[in-house]
Protein backbone atom coordinates (compact mmCIF):
# COMPACT_ATOMS: atom_id res chain seq x y z
CA UNK A 1 0.00 0.00 0.00
CA UNK A 2 1.06 3.53 -0.70
CA UNK A 3 -0.91 6.65 0.13
CA UNK A 4 -3.87 4.51 1.23
CA UNK A 5 -4.05 2.51 -2.01
CA UNK A 6 -2.62 -0.78 -3.22
CA UNK A 7 0.65 -0.01 -4.99
CA UNK A 8 1.04 -3.46 -6.56
CA UNK A 9 -0.10 -7.02 -6.04
CA UNK A 10 1.27 -10.41 -6.95
CA UNK A 11 3.67 -13.09 -5.85
CA UNK A 12 6.22 -12.03 -3.21
CA UNK A 13 9.05 -12.60 -5.70
CA UNK A 14 7.43 -10.16 -8.10
CA UNK A 15 6.25 -7.55 -5.59
CA UNK A 16 8.97 -7.44 -2.94
CA UNK A 17 11.63 -5.88 -5.10
CA UNK A 18 14.15 -3.18 -4.23
CA UNK A 19 12.46 -0.80 -6.64
CA UNK A 20 8.97 -1.35 -5.23
CA UNK A 21 10.01 -1.16 -1.58
CA UNK A 22 12.14 1.93 -2.19
CA UNK A 23 9.23 3.63 -3.94
CA UNK A 24 6.65 2.76 -1.30
CA UNK A 25 8.78 3.60 1.75
CA UNK A 26 10.95 6.33 0.28
CA UNK A 27 14.19 4.67 1.38
CA UNK A 28 16.81 2.99 -0.79
CA UNK A 29 17.01 -0.73 0.00
CA UNK A 30 18.17 -3.94 -1.59
CA UNK A 31 16.35 -7.25 -1.47
CA UNK A 32 18.35 -10.41 -0.95
CA UNK A 33 17.38 -14.04 -0.74
CA UNK A 34 18.68 -15.96 2.29
CA UNK A 35 20.04 -19.50 2.14
CA UNK A 36 16.64 -20.72 3.35
CA UNK A 37 14.94 -18.96 0.42
CA UNK A 38 13.37 -16.07 2.30
CA UNK A 39 13.43 -12.57 0.87
CA UNK A 40 15.14 -10.04 3.12
CA UNK A 41 15.02 -6.26 2.85
CA UNK A 42 18.43 -4.75 3.55
CA UNK A 43 19.10 -1.05 4.05
CA UNK A 44 22.28 0.33 2.51
CA UNK A 45 25.34 0.68 4.68
CA UNK A 46 26.25 4.24 5.49
CA UNK A 47 29.74 5.24 4.52
CA UNK A 48 31.88 5.19 7.60
CA UNK A 49 32.96 8.62 8.69
CA UNK A 50 36.66 8.88 9.34
CA UNK A 51 37.39 9.33 13.00
CA UNK A 52 40.01 11.70 14.24
CA UNK A 53 41.50 11.75 17.69
CA UNK A 54 43.43 14.38 19.52
CA UNK A 55 46.28 13.10 21.62
CA UNK A 56 47.47 15.27 24.48
CA UNK A 57 50.42 14.78 26.78
CA UNK A 58 52.53 12.61 24.49
CA UNK A 59 55.67 14.40 25.79
CA UNK A 60 55.47 12.42 29.02
CA UNK A 61 55.70 9.00 27.31
The torsion angles phi and psi of 32, rounded to 5 degrees, stand at -125, 155
SS (H, E, C) 2-61: ECCECCCCCCHHHHCCHHHHHHHHCCCCEEEECCCCCEEEECCCCCCCCCCCCCCCHHHC
Per-residue pLDDT 10s for the chain (61 aa) are: 778 888 899 998 899 899 999 999 888 899 998 899 888 888 877 655 555 555 555 455 4
Instruction: Please tell me the pTM assigned to this model.
Output: 0.62
Amino acid sequence: MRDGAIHCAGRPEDVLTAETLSTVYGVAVSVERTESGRLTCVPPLRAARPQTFEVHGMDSL
